[in-house]
Each structure stands twice: as C-alpha cells, then as structure tokens.
A and B are shown apart, each in its own frame.
Chain A
Amino acid sequence: MAARSTRVLMSCSRKDANAALLSNFEVFQLLTDLKQQRKESGKSKQSSGQQNLNTIMYETMKYISKTPCRYQSPETVREFLIAMKGHKLTKAEKLQLLNHRPVTAVEIQLMVEESEERLTEEQIESLLQTVASILPGDPEEQQRDSAMETEGRSSQ
C-alpha cells in the first residue's frame, strides 16, 4: 500500500477529538449502505480521486466481516446494551464485548479492567451467558455444538 501522507490535515481543523464511539457493527452498516449508494449512483468509481476511498472501504469491510458483528442486527445490539446495564461496565468495555463476543473467562478478564476486583466468578459466568445468548455467533458452529450436545445426551 502506498505510504500515507498527512499533509491533508493542515487546513482541516478538528473540533471534538472523539465525538462518538462506533461499534464494528455500526461501521459495517455504514460501509454497506455507502457501497450500495455508490453502486446505485452509477458514477465512475475508477476516477483517481475515489481510489483511496475504494481501497479503504474494501479493506475495512473485509476485516469487519471476519468479526462477530456480521451476525448482528440493530435489535441484537440494543438488546445486548440493555442486558449490560446491570453489570456496571464502562462504555469502552461494553463495546469490546460487543465487538469480540468473548466465550471464555480469560477473554472477559482481558477486556474488563481490574476484573478480579470488580467481578466474581459467578458474575463472569453470567456475563458469558448473556453474551452467548444475545449476540449471535457463527450459525454453523452453533449447529455443531447443539448436535454434539444431543449426541452426548443420547449416548448416556
């Protein structure tokens, strides 16, 4: 990839450093809509000015599509944030849980600062349960897991 220049910034002035946090899912939606818009408008995407936008949109979509957010919807995100209200986590921590969909206690400990002091083992378990039940995971994996469970039960 060509070296990125920072010469653009001289005329731009920044008002608010971080006006809002965006979850991976929101960026995914935004890029999907933008891609649709550009396709519909039919304008030539090959004009030299648009190449950078094309590149960054393509690469970012490629990355985000590999994360759990590709199975999410606005409803699941809303449900998740409501369920998280009782757990006393910071905005950044909730966002990490949303973006990564952790399945082990070790991952929760990485994302929640000072988790040994703030969360008991039961609370970590309950967090994992909430994450697993509300945020959809890979449908193939979930089918495999439930198939293995029924196998286990029937073999008993």
Chain B
Amino acid sequence: MLVTKAAPARLCSLPVSPEAAMFVLVEMTDTVRIPPWQFERKLNESIAEELNKKLANKVVYNVGLCICLYDITKLEDSYIFPGDGASHTKVHFRYVVFHPFLDEILVGEIKSCSQDGVHVSIGFFDDIVIPPESLQQPAKFDEAEQVWVWEYETEEGAHDLYMDIGEEIRFRVVDETFVDTSPTGPSSAEASTSNATEEVQKKEAPYTLVGSISEPGLGLLSWWTNS
C-alpha cells in the first residue's frame, strides 16, 4: 500500500505549511510473531521488543527513519497456526519517525566536501547533501584542501570563508528522495554479467535529504553569530 504525501496547495497569500516536523508519529499496523519460548513474558513487552527489533534505525519507504516505538494502540487476538508453534498478533501502534518537512531549518555538522557538494550529518542520520548550486554564492571548491569555500565579497575585497569538516552548519531541507532498496529479482537475459556485478556493488542510501544554504542566516553558524 503506497501512500504518497500530498503537496500542500497554495491558496491566496496565506502560507500553508505541511503538517510535519523533524520527528513525527506514524500510525502503523503489523503482525508480530512471538516464538513459544517467549510466552512466559508479558505480551506487550515481547511485542514492543519485536517491533523495535524490526524497525529501529531502519528506513521505511516514503515514511522516514524509524527511531523507537511510541505506544501500542490496539492488540488484536493472537492466533497460532498449524505447523508453527508461535503466536501471531496483529498490532496497531505508533512509531517515532525522523522525517523533516520541506523548508524546515536544521542544524548539522559538516562531514566532508566533494565535487558533489557539502555532505552534512546529524549524528543519527548521515545522508544529507548540499549541492554546489545551493551554496552561498560565489563558491569555489578548493582542490588542495578538499573543501568548499564561500568567496564573500566586501568593500575590501573577497573574503574566503572555508567550510571545514566538523563545523556546525544551519541549512534548509529542500528535497528528499526515497529509494526502494528491496532486493530485485534475477536480472533480465539482456543484462551482461559485468553489469550485474556493478549493480550489486552500488549501494544507494534508502533516504537522502537535499539541503540549501543560499539564504541570509544559513551556512556555518560562525558566519552569523554576533561577536
């Protein structure tokens, strides 16, 4: 069941922000299997543990990065099926998910710089990139130091502001991409064996954020603090 996130419509001049935040609660349902040797434990505890085992620190397609279980809203009857001694219980629950909304402001740390742009991390999530066109302009890539530089212009001339690793950076989320990394079937007959091995080696992040710092107030925190 694919639920796509509806884009907010713009009516007249009032801004319509999507109902979202850095962390959101997502209602989900799933059937949890509890093996017989855990029957002595309280059902709620076993279920909470199984749900966390399944979802914590994992990306769910089009939902976000799952953090931890918030609560269980409903437990349906548990069934035991022939041939399997375990119980199967349908659970309705809410999970804390990391899913920043479009245009949200976040603060992260610069992880590295490359020709693709500046890579930012927020500790528990690393796949954030700020492409070169979204940096404060004019910007150039310093090959020797492997960092991006903002050539800030003043009356005295151009100041080179370096975007060093480890610096705290404030950015705006402008895009997100979910990639379905489920295993695909055997490749078709036309694909050569060399292509197949290439595909296997390319590991795409299931969830990436694209940021921008091309506005006043965005970029390294040190650029904007009142000294």
Contact = CB atoms under 8 A, between A and B. Distances in A.
Given A15-B27, A31-B68, A90-B17, A106 B216 contact: yes
Interface in B83-110: 92, 94, 96, 98-99, 101, 103-105, 107
A6 B182 contact: yes
Contacts of B215: 110
B43 interface: no
Interface in A37-80: 49-50, 52-53, 55-57, 59-60, 62-63, 67
B180 A6 contact: yes
B221 to A, nearest CB: 10
Contacts, number: 185
A85 interface: no
Q: Chain A interface mostly helix, strand, loop or mixed?
A: helix
B13 interface: yes
B27 to A, nearest CB: 4
B23 A22 contact: yes
Contacts of B206: 3-6
Interface string A1-43: 1011111111111111111111110110011001000000000
Contacts of B19: 18, 21, 91-92
A99 B105 CA distance: 10
